């Protein structure tokens, strides 16, 4: 699904996800994650390499926990991060996804 952020279908997914529709939430994240990666790559000249790595790590954390539905313990083992660090990364990743969605409009 590759749509513009102001696309009515994407807006419907956002509304459904906000009401607790798990499938809509999964579709929304699947659509936004590649957008965020493209946005990060396009901003390379403005970011330090360690900032890019941090952002991508946050996106990966969201992908593991929200899209692949891994437990915190499984995701921590796969990523090499502590459970606490993973929770922080997911929080930051979701915030970055929101920002990417707004910026993409």
Question: Which sequence spans correspond to the domains of the chain?
Answer: 8-103
Residue 104 confidence (pLDDT): 54
Name the nearest CA neighbour of 1 among 13, 17, 18.
13
Residue 81 confidence (pLDDT): 92
Span 8-103: which CATH code?
A: 1.10.10
Specify whether the CB–CB gap between 33 and 63 falls below 8 A: yes
Q: Where are the beta strands (DSSP E) in the chain?
A: none
Residue 77 confidence (pLDDT): 93
How remote is the C-alpha of 7 from its chain's centroid? 19
Degrees to nearest 5, angle at CA 56 with 24 and 47: 125
Residue 83 confidence (pLDDT): 95
Residue 100 confidence (pLDDT): 67
Residue ranges of the chain with pLDDT lower than 50?
Answer: 1-3, 5
């Amino acid at each position: 699904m590759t749509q513009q952020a102001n696309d009515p279908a994407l807006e419907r997914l956002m509304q459904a996800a906000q009401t607790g529709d798990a499938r809509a939430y999964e579709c929304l994240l699947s659509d936004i994650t590649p957008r965020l990666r493209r946005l990060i790559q396009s901003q390379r000249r403005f970011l330090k390499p360690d900032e890019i790595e941090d952002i991508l790590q946050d996106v990966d954390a969201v992908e593991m926990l929200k899209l692949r539905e891994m437990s915190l313990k499984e995701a921590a083992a796969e990523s090499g991060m502590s459970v606490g660090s993973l929770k922080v990364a997911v929080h930051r990743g979701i915030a970055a996804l929101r920002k990417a969605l707004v910026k993409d409009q």
